[in-house]
């Protein structure tokens, strides 16, 4: 049966799941969010978003007040309360290999399936190795009391942290990976408003939908590493990668987005996705086709080492005892996410060489402290840069890029700054007497 306005469950209430659940309730659907973590469920149910995402707390409270959104740890409740179940749990990098760790997806799907005794659609949103939907179809049909009346679909999500609401409610495109007309129609009914607003829709088979996501993230990572590879060439020639990127960006075939040189990409998605993709491609016998992704990864990691080299250079080749202010910890601004954060990697490497490192980030302090207790932390920007021998910009928060170079200069012991994100006004810093250095730019 086709249901006009399907009831939904969203399993996994991290960045992806919480945003999806809240946005779907905002669009008018009845939604139950499910998580095994009682604390997350309790927080969300009481109107608190357990991570930093602009605009999301307000939207959560409105959705809760409307009565259309609730949260539970009970999978039987989810199975009974919804017709369409979105799987939004994490697929982190496995501990001992570059592959994706599928234990959370498998557990979520198995727990749900055990209670499915009538027709239902399970929709994967997590980023997964190609072939997962087929594997889960077999698993579900074995477990679910309703058997083949439970179908799988794949509907990858392209949201960026910091822009999660906008990317969910006004995405660039929707991708429906389906194996039947029924699944396609059910999914269409989950996105009526978006389709009416003419968001482009691409309907595919299951494998293509899985591939779209990793192919998109791999392309973005490649674009960033491409310009950072050019930065390495610039460093050897005295050319300026900032100007190079600008000149390239006016070619509309190339475009300027994701062409910003600097410290490179981090976060919970791009780094682990390219590694898992390369690994999966090898399993499928097409490793050579994406062998370049290993190079994309190494270029990216080399930028972190290069940043440390520049800081070391500024203190005459010896970091031992140098006071270094690290501005930023999150993997990018407008996020408190520190997963694979280039900023913290650089801070840690500087400390390993004996520097006295002080880190400050406007939002990611709690997460950073928990993950890297060995680093020192400041409560604010002023405290972070006080008496510093070198200031290093690692995450381009507005608070840092808006800072006045003259005022900042009065606080440090020496006016030396490394702009790891090409985010500062080099001329303004130089006129205020700073020695300004950036990756891929002449001294």
Q: Which is nearer to ligand UGA, 34 or 270 (CB)?
A: 270
The DSSP call for residue 93 is B
- From residue 250, give the alpha-carbon distance in Å to each of 172, 232, 257, 262, 362: 21, 22, 11, 19, 33
Residue 145 assigned to a binding site = no
Q: How many CA atoms lie within 13 A of 317 on its CB side?
A: 0
**Cβ(128)–Cβ(210) below 8 Å:** yes
CB under 8 Å to 63, separation ≥6 — which residues? Answer: 22, 25, 26, 31, 69
**Is 71 one of the binding residues for ligand UGA (CB under 6 A)?**
no
CB under 8 Å to 233, separation ≥6 — which residues? Answer: 239
**Is 169 one of the binding residues for ligand UGA (CB under 6 A)?**
no
**Shortest distance (Å) from residue 73 CB to ligand UGA:** 24
Q: Please, where are the H alpha helices in 170-259? A: 181-190, 192-196, 206-237, 241-249
- From residue 125, give the alpha-carbon distance in Å to each of 156, 178, 304: 5, 13, 31
Residue 269 annotated in active site: yes
Residue 373 assigned to a binding site = no
Query: Residues 117, 149, 182, 258: which binds ligand UGA (CB under 6 A)?
Result: 258
Q: DSSP states of 131-169 as a string?
A: THHHHHHHHHHHH-TTGGGEEEEE----PPTTSHHHHHH
Region from 25-33, 261-269, 314-322, 426-434 binding ligand UGA, contact rule CB under 6 A: 261-269
> Which of 88, 190, 269, 326 is labelled catalytic?
269
Q: What's the CA gap between 167 and 163, in Å, rounded? A: 6
Task: Find the helix packing angle between 132-143 and 103-113, rounded to 10°.
Answer: 30
**Cβ(209)–Cβ(184) below 8 Å:** no
Q: Which is nearer to ligand UGA, 30 or 161 (CB)?
A: 161
**Is 18 one of the binding residues for ligand UGA (CB under 6 A)?**
no
Q: Where are the beta strands (DSSP E) in 249-372?
A: 323-327, 356-360
Region from 77-85, 260-268, 353-361, 373-381 binding ligand UGA, contact rule CB under 6 A: 260-268
**Is 217 one of the binding residues for ligand UGA (CB under 6 A)?**
yes
**Shortest distance (Å) from residue 145 CB to ligand UGA:** 33
Region from 48-56, 257-265, 284-292, 400-408 binding ligand UGA, contact rule CB under 6 A: 257-265
Q: Name the percent of the chain in helix, strand, coil, to the closest 5.
A: 45, 15, 40
Region from 90-98, 217-225, 282-290, 405-413 binding ligand UGA, contact rule CB under 6 A: 217-225
Site for ligand UGA in 263-282 (CB under 6 A): 264-267, 269-270
**Is 214 one of the binding residues for ligand UGA (CB under 6 A)?**
no
**Cβ(176)–Cβ(156) below 8 Å:** no
**Is 159 one of the binding residues for ligand UGA (CB under 6 A)?**
yes
**Shortest distance (Å) from residue 83 CB to ligand UGA:** 26
**Shortest distance (Å) from residue 266 CB to ligand UGA:** 4
In terms of phi and psi (left: phi > 0; alpha: psi -120 to 50; beta: otherwise), the region of 265 is beta
Residue 127 assigned to a binding site = yes
- Site pattern 328..367 for ligand UGA (x: CB under 6 A): ---xx-----------------------------------
**Is 226 one of the binding residues for ligand UGA (CB under 6 A)?**
no
Can you give the binding site for ligand UGA, defined by CB under 6 A?
A: 127, 157-161, 217, 220, 224, 258-260, 262, 264-267, 269-270, 331-332
- Annotated binding-site residues for substrate read 158-161, 213, 258-262, 266, 332
The residues annotated as belonging to the active site are 269
């Amino acid at each position: 049966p086709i249901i006009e306005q399907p009831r939904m469950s969203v399993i996994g209430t991290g960045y992806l799941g919480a945003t999806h659940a809240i946005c779907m309730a905002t669009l008018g659907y009845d939604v139950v969010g499910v998580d095994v973590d009682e604390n997350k469920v309790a927080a969300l149910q009481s109107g608190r978003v357990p991570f930093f995402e602009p605009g999301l707390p307000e939207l959560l409270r409105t959705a809760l007040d409307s009565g259309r959104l609730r949260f539970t740890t009970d999978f039987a409740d989810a199975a009974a309360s919804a017709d369409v179940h979105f799987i939004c749990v994490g697929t982190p990098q496995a501990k001992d290999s570059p592959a994706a760790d599928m234990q959370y997806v498998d557990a979520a799907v198995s727990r749900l399936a055990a209670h499915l005794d009538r027709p239902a659609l399970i929709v994967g949103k997590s980023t997964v190795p190609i072939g997962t939907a087929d594997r889960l179809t077999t698993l579900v049909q074995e477990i679910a009391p309703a058997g083949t009346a439970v179908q799988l679909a794949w509907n990858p999500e392209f949201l960026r942290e910091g822009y999660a609401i906008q990317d969910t409610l006004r995405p660039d495109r929707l991708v429906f990976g389906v194996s039947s007309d029924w699944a396609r129609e059910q999914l269409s009914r989950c996105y009526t408003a978006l389709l009416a607003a003419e968001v482009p829709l691409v309907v595919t088979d299951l494998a293509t939908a899985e591939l779209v996501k990793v192919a998109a993230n791999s392309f973005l990572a490649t674009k960033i590493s491409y310009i950072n590879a050019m930065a390495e060439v610039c460093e050897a020639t005295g050319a300026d990668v900032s100007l190079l990127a600008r000149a390239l960006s006016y070619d509309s075939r190339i475009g300027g987005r994701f062409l910003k040189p600097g410290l490179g990409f981090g976060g919970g998605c791009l780094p682990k996705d390219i590694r898992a993709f390369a690994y999966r491609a090898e399993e499928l016998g097409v490793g050579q086709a994406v062998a370049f992704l290993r190079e994309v990864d190494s270029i990216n990691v080399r930028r972190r080492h290069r940043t440390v080299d520049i800081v070391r250079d500024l203190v005459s080749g010896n970091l031992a005892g140098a006071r270094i202010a690290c501005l930023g910890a999150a993997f990018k601004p407008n996020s408190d996410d520190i997963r694979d954060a280039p900023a913290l990697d650089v801070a840690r490497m500087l400390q390993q060489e004996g520097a006295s490192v002080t880190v400050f980030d406007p939002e990611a302090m709690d997460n950073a402290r928990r993950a890297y207790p060995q680093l020192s932390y400041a409560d604010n920007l002023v405290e972070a840069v006080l008496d510093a021998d070198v200031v290093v910009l690692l995450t381009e928060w507005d608070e840092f890029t808006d800072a006045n170079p003259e005022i900042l200069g009065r606080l440090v012991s020496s006016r030396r700054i490394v702009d790891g994100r090409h985010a500062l006004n080099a001329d303004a810093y130089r006129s205020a007497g700073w020695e300004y250095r950036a990756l891929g730019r002449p001294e």
